[in-house]
Amino acid sequence: MVVARSIALKAVNTASLWGLNRSRFGGLPKVQTVRALSTIMSPPSKAVVYEHHGPPDSVTRMIELPPVEVQENQVCVKMLATPINPSDINRIEGVYPVRPQVPAVGGYEGVGEVYSVGSAVKGLSPGDLVIPSPPSSGTWQTYVVKDHEIWHKISKDSPIEYAATVTVNPLTALRMLEDFTTLSTGDSIVQNGATSIVGQCVIQLARYRGIHSISIIRDRAGSDEVKERLKALGADEVFTESQLEVKNVKSLLSNIPEPALGLNCVGGHAASLVLKFLRQGGTMVTYGGMSKKPVTVSTSSFIFKDLSLRGFWLQKWLSADKAKECRDMVDYLLRLAQEGKLKYEMELVPFDKFHSALEKALGKHGSQPKQVIKF
């Protein structure tokens, strides 16, 4: 009892210092001062935290978190890998529409191994490979304690780096291909931002279904190499923006039909190029705005082509009671990754090099692969 009380008191002091409670730092429960010997405790955890919103490279820091109680319906997971996504950065900056209350642990998706389970937990055991599904905040730490319903058990054969990144980007690509228009074998789509993870997934998922894809990339050094890389993934045509400064972009297509669906994550002029390709009655879906410029549409496009403009936000889709559907699709995407039918470039970075990875994710070193933290 003396040992247990000593651990608890140490945890209380540290938790009080950082103001931990259930709603902060990834949902870690409060630590009580009196415990029985049978209480299950998590190991101490290292975490990347931020106490207020601002530039991520300025407001984040790595700290030690104390052991916490694993309550009867909770699971303690030892994290194995977690990515740095643009939405993670936006949450820290305070500009994302949905974000945890500060102070908070960063991160929103990842993969881990069950370390211990509460007494009432069924269906999960130590050693199981799990992901938070739907995603849940607070994954940038070595041990995460959350309710058992958060965790989805996946195949132990799943590639760790893909399991860590499967939910946000690949799932976005899959939903956009399925939710806005009916696509059949032989149809085509057009997209900008094709080098993004979503863009790469769109190309491969479309090819897998027999759908042609036209990709638009920005003009930059090495664009020919980028084109070849995207075509190797399955893109039928890849154009730089300057190549599309012609009166009739559809004349550039050979045996590809006019696209029924366009995907826009850039905005501004790049969005207008997507619209130029669309067929009569086509739909453009906007899911990002990297240029920070608005989408503008000519009056003739609306009147004579009857185009539709839609928006997609994965978080809204996930919040619409889609937990089971989400998990089924995650399993499907992981099977494709395991079979080599879905791939994208990533860089695995040790957790103690987190801030170096963050700088790359912030674009301070030019174009970089997806940064994935490995614990």
Catalytically annotated residues:
96
Cα–Cα distance measured from residue 278 to residue 262, given in angstroms and rounded to the nearest whole number: 7
**296, 302 in Cβ contact below 8 A?**
no
Alpha helices for the chain (secondary structure H): 2-18, 56-59, 86-93, 160-165, 169-179, 197-208, 223-233, 268-277, 299-305, 314-318, 323-338, 354-361
Q: Which residue has the tokens 């008191």?
A: 9
Q: Report the C-alpha gap between 339 and 94 in whole angstroms.
A: 38
d(CA 199, CA 28): 35
What is the rounded (10 degree) CA torsion for 354, 199, 313, 304? 150
- Phi and psi at residue 202, to the nearest 5°: -55, -45
DSSP 8-state secondary structure symbol assigned to residue 121 = -
- Give me the count of residues in the chain: 375
- Cβ atoms of 171 and 333 within 8 Å: the answer is yes
Beta bridge partners of 147: 74
Closest to 207 in 3D by CA, of 180, 173, 179, 181: 173
